[in-house]
Amino acid sequence: MKPISDYNDYRLYIRDFYEERKLMTGLSWRGFNKMAGYASPRFLKLVCDGKSKLSSVGAIRLAKVMGLSKVQSSYFLALVSYCNTSVERRKQVAYEHMQAIAKDEKVRIVGDDAYDYYKDWWNPILRELAPRVAVAIPAKIASLFYENVSSEDVRKSLDFMVQAGFLKKNKKSYVQTDKAILGSSEKIPKAIRNMHKQMAFFAEKAVDNFSVSDRNFSGMTLSVNRAAYDQIVNELDSCRKKIAAIVSAAEECDRIYRLNLQLFPVTKEIE
C-alpha cells in the first residue's frame, strides 16, 4: 500500500486500506465498521463512495483502527479536514499542515500552482539535471538534452522552479528544495496525462536510438482478475519505492533517466 503522504483524498486511503486487508485477511465492510465503532455496517463504504463524510472524532478513531503512527495520524486528520471543508481559509490551513508533515518525510505535495510544473515535460528533467551542472548556463543545459529544448525554455523553466520553490539558486548553481514531488490537485492529472503521453513517445524512440547497454525494455502479456491486478499494482508501488531509495543513496550521478512503469488492458472484460 502506498504511503499516506501519497494521498490527497482520505476516502481513497480508507478504500485502499480496506481492499488490502480484505485481500490479506478477508475483512468485510461489516467487520471494518464494527472495529471502528460504527453501528451501520455500510457507513465507511458510503464515506469511500463520497455519499457521507468522516467526522474529526471518527477520523481519530479510524486512525487508531488502521494502526497509523503519530505522524501518519496527523496527516490523516489534516487530510480529512482538507477534503471535508469548503471554507477556503480552513482548507489552506489543512493543506499547509499536510505540506509540513510531508516535508518532514522529504516529500513535497504540490497544489494548483504546480500545474505548470507538469505541463512541460522538461521541467522534471531540469529539476534533476540543473543541480548536477556546476555552472548552470541555460544554453549548456539545453545542449545536454537528447530531445530538442531551447535555451530560452530552460531559462524560463529554471526561473519558474525557483519562484515556485522547486529549486533554490546558489550563485551560478541550483539545489533541490525537496527530494520528491507529489501532485495534489484536481487540475494536475490532465497535465500529468499529457506528460505520460510525451514520455511514452520518447520511450518508443529510445528503442531504436539507444543500445541495449543504455536502455532496458521488457514486457509481459498477462491474464489476470481484479484481485491479481491490485496485487500487481502494489508490487509496482513497492518496486518504485525501492528504486527511489537506490537513487537517493547514489552519489556523483552523471545522467538523467526516465522510468516508465506501464500496466494497461489490451482487451475488454471477458464474460
Q: What are phi and psi of 106, to 5 degrees?
A: 65, 30
pLDDT digits (tens, 9 = 90+) for 216-247: 999 999 999 989 998 998 888 888 878 877 88
pLDDT digits (tens, 9 = 90+) for 103-161: 665 555 555 556 678 888 999 999 999 999 888 899 999 999 999 999 999 999 999 88
Helix (H, G, I), strand (E, B) or coil at 113: helix
Q: Which three cell numbers stand for residue 186?
A: 484536481
CB 252 within 8 A of CB 132: no
CB atoms within 10 A of CB 8: 20
H-helix segments, the chain: 10-25, 29-35, 43-48, 56-65, 70-84, 88-104, 115-119, 122-129, 138-143, 151-164, 188-209, 226-249
pTM: 0.56
d(CA 193, CA 191): 5
Which has the closest alpha carbon to 141: 172, 178, 101, 180? 172
